[in-house]
Amino acid sequence: MFYPFELEKYLEMLLPPRDELLLEMEREALVETIPVVTPAVGHFLQLLLETAGARSILEIGTATGYSTIYLARGARQTGGRVLTIDMNKGRMDRAVEYIAKAGLKDLVEFRFGNALKILPELSGRFDFIFVDAAKGEYRQYVELILPLMADGGILVLDNVLFRGWVVPGSVYDSKYNNMVETLRAFLQYLAELPGYKLSVLPFGDGLAIVRKNGPFEKTLPKNSSCKEQKE
Ligand SMILES: C[S@@+](CC[C@H](N)C(=O)[O-])C[C@H]1O[C@@H](n2cnc3c(N)ncnc32)[C@H](O)[C@@H]1O
């Protein structure tokens, strides 16, 4: 049985207290139904990024910047930077304000537009990539992301279990059949990607963790910083 709500509430109880800014963003996301990551997922992203020592960080799906704050706080520990992409101008403008309020503005570069257009324009390598955008486009993002991944780099994708319905035997409304089938096929594609390892973690809305084989360089490769990409 899959009890995401109870699981998430319990995991949240085990987290350190969150500051007022994150709590305000959570309240706002709830009221406006902006599907931000759960606190447990945000905490995990930061922990994983710091554990890897990742420095060149890419996010697809900024929204108002809740997950970006966790990524940028991790980047502050590793000496890294975050490039974050979203196609919703209103949300991105708010993210810019929140990141400034969090004192992280020097660590984050914002790119407004469709990730499917922006990703092919990026050069260099990223050692940590977080995808939390349109589930139906995940396969397309990944095909564009793979050439951008550093050896040993980590790709995390949110929502891959889609409320647990991707697990065979789940009961859900037939209007979600297409999305569930698309996500099952997508996870199978990730599982069979040569040169990469996949683990799927059943918390939040389901996280796929993909690691590119090879030694992790732990340094910013030339031409890979967000700043350089901007220039
Ligand atoms: C689930 S929200 C992101 C939440 C955010 N990661 C957080 O946890 O705080 C998804 C965002 O992806 C953006 N998005 C969807 N498709 C996109 C695309 N093709 N290119 C850029 N952004 C996209 C939407 O505008 C939306 O703000």
Residue 1 has pLDDT above 50, yes or no: no
pLDDT digits (tens, 9 = 90+) for 171-225: 999 999 999 999 999 999 999 999 999 999 999 999 999 999 988 876 554 444 4
CA of residue 133 to ligand 1 center, whole Å: 4
CA of residue 132 to ligand 1 center, whole Å: 6
User: By percentage, how much of the chain surpasses pLDDT 70?
Assistant: 92
- Going by alpha carbons, the residue nearest to atom 4 of ligand 1 is 36
Report residues whose beta carbon is within 6 angstroms of any ligand 1 atom.
35-37, 61, 63, 66-67, 85-88, 91, 114-116, 132-134, 137
- Going by alpha carbons, the residue nearest to atom 11 of ligand 1 is 61
DSSP annotation of 15: S
Class of domain 4-230: alpha beta
pLDDT at residue 46 in the model: 98
Residue 103 has pLDDT above 50, yes or no: yes
Q: What is the mean pLDDT of the chain?
A: 93
User: What is the position in ligand 1's atom list of the atom closest to the CA of 141?
Assistant: 19
CA of residue 87 to ligand 1 center, whole Å: 7
Hey, where are the domains in the chain? 4-230
Residue 75 has pLDDT above 80, yes or no: yes
CA distance 51 to 101: 26
Residue 227 has pLDDT above 70, yes or no: no
The helix or strand, by DSSP H or E, that contains position 227, with its residue range, turns out to be: helix 226-230
pTM: predicted TM-score of the whole model, two decimal places? 0.93
Residue 27 has pLDDT above 70, yes or no: yes
CA distance 93 to 200: 32
Mutation test residue for ligand 1: of 86, 116, 156, the one with most atoms within 8 Å of CB: 86
Mutation test residue for ligand 1: of 132, 135, 143, 156, the one with most atoms within 8 Å of CB: 132
CA distance 14 to 65: 23
pLDDT digits (tens, 9 = 90+) for 152-169: 999 999 999 999 999 999
Distance of CA 75 to the CA centre of its chain: 14
The model's confidence at residue 90, banded by pLDDT at 50, 70 and 90, is very high
SS3 label, residue 64: coil
CA distance 142 to 190: 9
pLDDT at residue 137 in the model: 98
